[in-house]
Amino acid sequence: MAANSPRSDALTDGYGRRISYLRLSVTDRCDLRCRYCMAEDMSFLPKSAVLSIEEMGDLATRFVARGVRRIRLTGGEPLVRRGIDTLAMRLGALIGDGLDELTLTTNAMRLSDHASMLAAAGVRRINVSLDTLDPQAFRHITRVGDLSVALRGIEAARGAGLAVKINMVALAGLNEDQLLPMLGWCAANGCDLTLIETMPLGEVADDRSDHYIPLHQFVAPLRAERAISPIVKRTGGPARYFEVEDSPVTLGLITPLSDNFCASCNRIRLTVEGRIYMCLGQDDHVDLRAALREGDDVDGLIDAALAGKPLAHDFVITRESQPAVARHMSATGG
């Protein structure tokens, strides 16, 4: 077999974990500047440093051939990437032919213009990052965002037949009074809700220790009012799911700091530069872009990445701690 010919053997890391979920970052750019995620003044990659839409499709197809069953398109904000429709259509065509599901995470600022395209491509559910329903707080957290635009995008997505799950980052002092309103809004608008602890990735202006709050504290006001019971549900990601008394909303909890979930990690991340990062919280990576363009052994590099995948990350947030890695979440893919 030629060095650059695709293989079909399954992806397994050095700890025996089967890799079946690819998070594919299509851009490091974003039209928001969320305080916990990005610096206010960001430097983005030049066009020459990023994979083309065709190259992304080629690599994703290779991963599907080796057993990836779910692909999530991420960023930055994936809907700012020119050609996202072409990529979504190409990957959507793999559903039923090795791929079980194509999904997307978005801030919804451009969702009104793309919802019908995503549905036509075969996307059936999306995650929308939305940390508050208060317009002023939304503007503060995102620095530049208009809440009404995001809400119109969510409405358009649901109108196109997409299931919407809201991703809400728990932020002490910024939105810890917003959980109950958000849960009520999700119930009224047919959305599920997942809460996420903030993670120490990249330098930002705010001190993350000022805003980190473990989810068991964040959900305390809800637990004081209603019972929350675990349910058996898996969507391929790290969330644990719960049903909420007297609510149709499925509640997910993602706890990278307070309750590490790495033992069951089934994910691999491919950045817009063509790099595989073996762990979100570490800098070790392999570069597939050069191998792809030069016809070298891409699958051999993928195997090397999996062999080096660590058992767990080592996230810590304190006033004295530095970010786990220098790169921002937008550079890796959320």
319 assigned binding-site residue: no
Cα separation values, 3 from 7, 52, 286, 296, 297, Å: 10, 21, 17, 6, 4
Q: 278 CB contacts (<8 Å, ≥6 apart)?
A: 284, 285, 286, 305, 306, 308, 309, 310
Task: Report whether 265 belongs to an annotated binding site.
Answer: yes
- Strands 70-74, 101-106: pairing is parallel
Q: At what angle do helices 147-159 and 179-189 cross, to 10 degrees?
A: 30
The annotation status of 279 as a binding-site residue, yes or no, is yes
Return d(Cα 273, Cα 291) in angstroms, integer: 12
CB 106 within 8 A of CB 165: no
72 is in an annotated binding site: yes
| Tally of CB atoms within 10 A around 217 | 12
Query: 């990601």: which residue's tokens?
Result: 237
Distance of CA 90 to the CA centre of its chain: 20
165 annotated as belonging to a binding site for a ligand = yes
Tokens of 140: 């503060």
235 is in an annotated binding site: no
What lies within 8 Å, CB to CB, of 217 at 6+ separation is: none
Q: Is 199 known as a binding-site position?
A: yes
Binding residue per annotation — 76? yes
Q: Is 36 one of the annotated binding-site residues?
A: yes
**Dihedral Cα 108, 110, 115, 116, nearest 10 deg:** 170
Nearest-CA neighbor of 327 among 267, 261, 279, 266? 279
* Helix spans in the chain (H): 53-65, 84-92, 111-121, 135-142, 147-159, 179-189, 208-211, 215-218, 220-223, 288-294, 298-307, 329-332
Query: Binding site annotation covers 262?
Result: yes
Determine whether the annotation assigns residue 23 to a binding site. yes
The Cα 89–Cα 96 span in angstroms is 14
Residue 269 marked as a ligand binder: yes
- Establish whether 186 is an annotated binding residue: no
Binding residues for S-adenosyl-L-methionine are 36, 76, 129, 199
Binding residues for GTP are 23, 72, 105, 165, 267-269
Binding residues for [4Fe-4S] cluster are 30, 34, 37, 262, 265, 279
Binding residues are 23, 30, 34, 36-37, 72, 76, 105, 129, 165, 199, 262, 265, 267-269, 279
